[in-house]
Chains A and B, each alone.
Chain A
Amino acid sequence: MSARQTFATAGRVMSQLRHDPRTLALLFLIPPILITILKYVFQGEKSTFDHIAPLLLGIFPMIMMFLITSIVTLRERTSGTLDRLMTMPIAKLDFILGYAIAFSLLGFLQAVVTGFVMLGLLHVTVLGGAVSTIVGAVFASFLGTSLGLFISAFAKSEFQAVQFMPAFLFPQILTCGLFIARSQMAKPLQWFADIMPLTYSVDAMKRVTMNSTWTSLLTRDLIIVGAFGIAALILGSATIRRQE
């Protein structure tokens, strides 16, 4: 393991994005725009909007980071660059961590921008305050990043990678308690939701919305989200093979 190589990889990924301003613009504009649209969808029901908007901040970053990382690492696998790197003295985990750092940083910036729009411009009431909101969103984007890194190993083409998003994330979005309280769902779906990471990411945001103080349950949810993320990173580095 080498911190120098990890950070060089993170820096390299950031530079690649820096040269791609359109992707960066999309990354920072889409979530605020969607949340703004939602505000006017729920024009007559401000309390519903206040309830849902923060939850979306636990979901959007995850979806976007999942998509971007799975495509970008797939490209790395198919373009020959990973092939070349695997003949060089770099640890696989350094490579994966470099990606995780770069995209978590990006997720942080995205959360700050979206959080600002949500709390500052759209005046959503979040009892837990701005800092907890952003912390929750950063965990969500870290989770999306690491799941994307892991899942990309199972995609042979961009077509497949893009479809992993609905295949892998939508069931979680449907059952995470966004649409209806989980206790009202069929039992098997409750069991499913209990073992899926997005559930805890959304729960964390719920707690931020409803409690003015940092609760131990919030800590627990974030630890679970973080643990899923770390596990996905380790599995992700295991899917990279030195020898094929």
Chain B
Amino acid sequence: METAVKIKNLTIVLGGRFKALKNVSIDLPAGKMVGVIGPSGAGKTTLIRGIVGRLHINSGTIAVFNQPAGSPQLRQQMSYMTQELSVYPDLTVTENLRYFAIMTRQPRKQIKATVLKVLEAVDMTDKASNLVSSLSGGEKQRVSLAIALIGSPKLLVLDEPTVGLDPVLRENLWELFAHLADQGHSLIITSHSMDEAERCDDLVLIRNGRIIAHSSPLELRQRTGTQTVEQSFLKLVGAKI
């Protein structure tokens, strides 16, 4: 199986003191939906920010498509949806998308089509000319996701993309993610919702900066002899305390 991300003996220290990740080694497959789950403060966002190249690595390595994380060449092959909304509230939805389309170097002639395409993907076409500040929380979230879809990057790194969305929308987005994976895109998605995790092809469970499990949801349930990922997680955590 092809790997999208290869991490070896990774340690990341935040703010000079806090060891957010402790000697983590893991390979994440390409062309799949990989879920990174764990409680708040477990190190999910740190792992993700390491993968997109935004963090200084204290020791170990992260390779994305066989290039060190943060390499300039990677910037055109992946997208990053941060946990904060990271959209401009004082611009319209279209103005936001157009701007980020230029920032990701989409060909001039394709910008209009690209914007329409991602608007449709997140079902925001009818709000395209609204100011982002006038949108609801869930709508803002979708604009932020739409930016990550621009240019259909090989790797999409999404930090809590479905948090705060209503169930119907969440369902639609997970279908969209599955569809993207079917088309060969690699997705890395963090979530602290365990029921969402069931939908991933591959799961990484993090706790206290360490990876406590890495397998498909099915294997995980079988191995722990439980019915749901949530129960598996609790069992694993219980076993390790």
Contacts and interface: CB of A to CB of B under 8 A. Distances in A.
Contacts of B215: none
Interface in A49-93: 79-81, 83-90
A15 interface: yes
Contacts of B70: 242-243
Report the interface size class on chain A.
20 to 34
A128 B80 CA distance: 53
A183 interface: no
A79 B86 contact: yes
B90 interface: yes
Contacts of A86: 54
B206 interface: no
A16 interface: yes
A20 interface: yes
A81 B87 contact: yes
Contacts of A88: 75, 100, 103-104
Contacts of A5: 102-103, 105
A87 B151 CA distance: 14
Interface in B30-73: 52-56, 70, 72
A244 interface: yes
B88 interface: yes
A4 interface: yes
A79 B89 CA distance: 10
Contacts, number: 77
Nearest to B78: A87
B231 interface: no
A107 B121 CA distance: 40
A243 B57 CA distance: 9
B84 A79 contact: yes
B102 A87 contact: no
Given A87-B78, A88-B103, A80 B85 contact: yes
Nearest to B74: A87
B91 interface: yes
A156 interface: no
A123 interface: no
Ranked nearest first, the 4 interchain pairs of A and B with the lowest CB-CB distance are: A80-B84, A80-B86, A8-B102, A89-B75
16 contacts: A5-B105, A8-B102, A12-B95, A16-B91, A79-B84, A80-B86, A83-B86, A84-B81, A84-B82, A86-B54, A87-B53, A87-B78, A87-B79, A90-B103, A243-B55, A244-B55
Interface of B: 52-56, 70, 72, 75-76, 78-88, 90-92, 95, 99-100, 102-105, 108, 131, 147
